[in-house]
Structure 1
Amino acid sequence: MTEEEFQEKFPILLCRGFIGGKVSHNRFCKADRLNKTVAGTFSIPLKESPSKEKTTFGFCMRKEELIFIDDAGKVRQILDEMQGYPLTDSSSPALLLFDFMEYLLKDDMIFLQEYEERLTRLEEELLNGKAEGFDRKILSFRKELSALSAYYEQLSDMGETLQQNAAEQGDEKDSLLFGLYSDKAGRLYSAVQMLKEYSMQLREMHQTQIDVRQNEIMKMLTVVTTVFMPLTLVAGWYGMNFVNMPELASPYGYIVICAICLLVIVVEILIFKIKGWFK
């Protein structure tokens, strides 16, 4: 049904089961029990851009019927795709809803494995020193994984609600199936959490590389500063030009000072090597 058709037929259910009495106002997956009816929404992130666009529609499951509320025709497209999918059992609305929800997750583990492969390639680029645009890439990964994490967590909660509803109605098979579905969504949620931790480790690795480069620069600047400190002292000392300074009148004074400065530099470099400053 369209939202308008559902509102005409079930005005009370629309007001009680959906935020603001509008399916389009919902941006998350949920299931609420209303007496003998379960109503809720699906908000499915697109795999091409999980953090941006979502496919949103509602559902209402009664004892003898399962109604999808969709103005965009997305549900019809999914149901058409399910024609060749092996169904569990469509003898009841609950089992049809289970098959529908199961179909939504059919290839998601493979999808998450592709995320892991992309993160692995990003790690290899980082180790090879190709960190251009890394911050932008890792931020995009984290936003998409956060959207997927919320999606799977919400589906797991939906499975628990439907499991409880089936148990109270005495449908042991439905209760078992929705319990298994909740566990499956929970495993996908855990997999996403691991990927988020992986992305955090890559970010920390990148920050460590930046810190190492900064430390190398600071060490080099420290070496240069240390080398020129005694030379600056010599230059300041002999730049006073007092009349009675003996080196001013000596024909070899300039050469002697240059030799002393070079000796100081050589001694400092030897000390730095002994201390391991150039490693």
Structure 2
Amino acid sequence: MGFGPFVVTTDLDRAERNVEGRSVALKKELGLRDLVLTQIVFVVGTAWVGTAAKLGDSHVSFWLLAILLFYIPQAAVVIYLNRLMPLEGGLYQWAKFGFNDFAGFMVAWNLWLLAFTVMALCGLVVTTNLSYSIGASAGWMQESKWVVPIVSCVLTVSLVAVSIRGLSLGKWVHNAGGIIMLVTYGALVALPFISLARGELKEYHPLKIVAPTFSMFNLNIFSKMVLGALSGFEYVAILGGECRSPARNIGRSVIVAAPFIALMFILGTSSVLAFTGGEHVDLIGPVPQTLSIGFLSLIHI
């Protein structure tokens, strides 16, 4: 009986070595740059700033509270576990080796279910974004019974094709998505300052601190900001077997991406609030809605 812990440790070490052995055959496609941009794609969305705008001027306080209570601890846990077990499969392997096979299965099953849910939402989000990009004449697209399913099918088939090709192609999709997200949020953040300089906005205080009110509605929005907007760092670790120096680079990608993501959320919400007031924000497409309002106001000057 005295050898129990030793046997368990040996079995875990052997299982980890088996995973590492299978990962050797995988191409190491992902470097630090790829991982940072992938972090931005996985964490930042275009809808969460609209959700946070419902909190009004107190959104900065709630964002800071969410970052303190969840975002930073989550980043620390991901960095620690990835250094401890830099394995292909990431959080699936962490749950499996940390608890048992059933826990690992439940994590993997939940990730599979999440992928279905996200893909269903992506069709609606992309359709909404397209309708704002085209203009008022395309408003019917959001209500169409055919456009959203067609867009969803095209997205799903395209992503399956990219996945079959592997990360030699997939990493460029991630990189392009990360760059597009940075450019889009850059425009979103800059727009209020441009409007302020041109006299379109009378005042703009993007980092205004207002004491939060803990009503049931605010706590509901806060929970979405914490568990929805600020989660996602753990997903990149799933690709650990296809990263160069995963124990080091995945942790570094979290450290590099985290400040940018926090600023994108806080300043992006302030921009949405400045142009929509929060009451009339489109919760599906707040970013294209805000950009269309802001750019139209500049054009008509």
What is the TM-score of this pair, normalised by structure 2? 0.29
- Between structure 1 and structure 2, the one with the greater Rg is 1
Bigger relative CO (Cα 8 Å, ≥ 6 apart): 2
Please state which structure has a larger fraction of its residues in strand.
1
Please state which structure has a larger fraction of its residues in helix.
2
